Each structure stands twice: as structure tokens, then as C-alpha cells.
Amino acid sequence: NHDNTNNNWAILVSTSKFWFNYRHTANAIGVYDQLLKLGFNNDNIILMLAEDSICDPRNLYSGFAPYKSINSFEDLVKQNPIKVDYRGDSVSVDSFIKVLTGRHPFGTPFNKMMRSNKNSKVFIYLTGHGGNGFFKFRDYEIITSREIATIIDEMYLQKRFKELLFITDTCQANTLFNYIETPNVFGISSSDFEQNSFSVLPDSVIGLPLADVFTFELLKTFEKNILNQTIVDWVSNLNTLKLPSTIRFFSSSKSNRNSQSVSFKDFFYC
């Protein structure tokens, strides 16, 4: 690490297995696609996909359509080949914790590490299934909101970020922030306590939704290139649309700057 250099990082995680969870893989790929289009360094993105929907024989597209009626995923593959750093069973609570804390075994390839420092702005995106105070990995294990708070605390003590933006698209997503008190941590959740996160863009060809409502709105913001608005204003505007669940903005009480000034552009460029 070069502690005096800025190197922003993005950790994009889809934790759902099985074909019927197609939209979760598509959510993560959509965010990945847009970060690359913004000029984010591909080497500074850790992509974790629990399911390989791209190569599934039931996928009748040459790729898939994350957020438009049929957005050509094939073009992304040709221009910016997807670098999947963790796939299948390697997407686990253990590997997620290792990426965030840097506690890797000797010999771990660099592409599987987040080599951040005290000047880094870190963006974490989670999509999958969850509930009150927990988030599932591969329908096999869970990480709890208390564990998430402990991990972020450890990251802060290790000086692995200057500021952190944590976006969660899952049911009861806001409960994942319940115990976070670490300074300079901000979050956006797709649903409130006792609320579900909902899918959108049902597709007649594959017979499944192509995205979730919240991530679909996030990707539209990417495409419109209006990332310099504050996140507080963005969340407020979204909630006026009467979406099926309530979007929440989170700011830890010990943050060094006014949460009203935090914008997407602080984290989405590298």
C-alpha cells in the first residue's frame, strides 16, 4: 500500500444461487458495467457472483439485460471483459470478510484482494436475500448486522478506508446498518424494517425479472450521469415516486463531515 495515494475501491457482491435469482446477478453486473463506463479502474473492483447466469443454457440472450428492455450485454463482454474475482461456492461469508479486512492466506492473488489504505473511499454493494438483521450467502449461511458492524470497525482500525458507502438491495435491508457506529460510514438501503425488496422488468423470453426496483433506479441515475447530487436528495426524490418499499439513507453518528454533503461522485470514480 502507498498510504499517501488515493485509490478508491468497489466490492460488488451477488450472493444468490439458482437460476430463478437471475435478477441478483444482473443487479451486480449492471453496477459493474456502469462503474467501468464512469472510468473506474477494473483492477480496483472486486466482483463476487454466486451464480453464473451468463453461461446458463436457459439464458436465451447472448448475455443478459440488467436494466433495459434488452441491453446488449455482449457489447460489454467485447469492450470490457468481465473480471469475476470470486464465483460459485467461493462467494462465502468467509471470503467476503477476508476481502474487507485483508486477512488473506499467503499466496492469495492480488485480484482477490482489496489493497486499500487510509485515503481510500470504499463502495460496498450487496444484492441477494436477507431479513431482519441478516443477509444470506448462497442460501447456505448468513452474516448478521452485528458481524457487519464488527468487520467495518476492524477495517477502520486497520486504516482501510477514509470513507465507506454501503449499499444493500435486499429485504429489510436497513436493518443491516443497526449496529454500525464506525466513523465516516454511509449507507443506502432498498427497504425498511419488515419491508420486502421488489423485482422489476419481468421478461417473457427467460420468464424472470431482470432487476430489482431499487437497483434499477440506481442504474438509471448512473445512465443519466447525475451523480453529483447529494445522496440525501437522491433518496428523498426516490421516495416521492412511491416505490413499493422505503429507501433509507444511513450516516454513522461519528462521521467527520455533514452527511448532507455526501454524493455518489465521491465513491463512483477512480
pLDDT digits (tens, 9 = 90+) for 125-160: 999 999 999 999 999 999 999 999 999 999 999 999
Catalytic residue among 24, 55, 104, 129: 129
The span from the CA of 114 to the CA of 233, in Å, is: 30
pLDDT of 108 reads 92
pLDDT of 190 reads 96
Question: 48 by DSSP, 3-state: which?
Answer: strand
The model's confidence at residue 74, banded by pLDDT at 50, 70 and 90, is: very low
200 pLDDT exceeds 90?
no
Note the pLDDT tens digit of each residue in 231-263.
999 999 989 888 899 999 999 988 888 888 999
129 included as an active-site residue: yes
**Pair 70, 62: CB distance under 8 Å:** no
Task: Give the mean model confidence (pLDDT) for residues 9-24.
Answer: 94
Name 127's bridge partners: 14, 169
End-to-end alpha carbon distance in the chain: 16
Cell output for 210: 431482470
pLDDT of 2 reads 43
CA distances from residue 241 to 74, 85, 191, 237, 238 in whole angstroms, order as listed:
32, 36, 14, 7, 5
The span from the CA of 28 to the CA of 19, in Å, is: 15
Pairing, β 134-137 against β 130-131: antiparallel
Four-point Cα dihedral 210, 212, 214, 218, nearest 10: -30
55 included as an active-site residue: no
3 pLDDT exceeds 70?
no
CA distances from residue 13 to 45, 90, 243 in whole angstroms, order as listed:
11, 12, 24
Catalytic residue among 24, 104, 171, 270: 171
Residue of 232, 176, 172 whose CA lies nearest to 197: 172
**Pair 170, 148: CB distance under 8 Å:** no
**Number of other residues whose CB lies within 10 A of the CB of residue 233:** 12
pLDDT of 62 reads 60
Q: What angle do CA 186, 34, 139 make, to 5 degrees?
A: 65
DSSP single-letter state for residue 68? S
